[in-house]
Amino acid sequence: EAQVTQNPRYLITVTGKKLTVTCSQNMNHEYMSWYRQDPGLGLRQIYYSMNVEVTDKGDVPEGYKVSRKEKRNFPLILESPSPNQTSLYFCASSQYPTRVYTEAFFGQGTRLTVV
């Protein structure tokens, strides 16, 4: 079954404690991205990746890091989480053949609370 898997689904952590949210897709997609969703603001892009070892900032990258060492995985790293990073996070992937993007597949979301 084609899917994007995020873990964990729920996480409560304390300010400053490094954490990683994992994202894995089984569709051999080139394009992967991370979004955060906040009430009244909708979904905003944090980082994206066009392919292995190719990543770039989205609209709200501050306080986040990503890596793309393998095609299937695109972890989101919060080196020193702060309460303003409390949000619902989504990973997504899509195919990227010759600059034509296809349907986006989303993970189930990670609800993060930083206290």
Partner 1 sequence: KNEVEQSPQNLTAQEGEFITINCSYSVGISALHWLQQHPGGGIVSLFMLSSGKKKHGRLIATINIQEKHSSLHITASHPRDSAVYICAATAINYGGSQGNLIFGKGTKLSVKP
Decide: is 58 part of the binding site for partner 1 (CB under 8 A): yes
Chosen residue from 42, 62, 69, 97 binding partner 1 by CB under 8 A: 42
Chosen residue from 92, 93, 112, 114 binding partner 1 by CB under 8 A: 92
CB of 42 to partner 1, least distance (A): 4
| Phi, psi dihedral angles at 5 (to 5 degrees) | -115, 125
- Classified as helix, coil or strand, 50 is strand
Site residue total, partner 1 (CB under 8 A): 30
| Phi, psi dihedral angles at 101 (to 5 degrees) | -85, 145
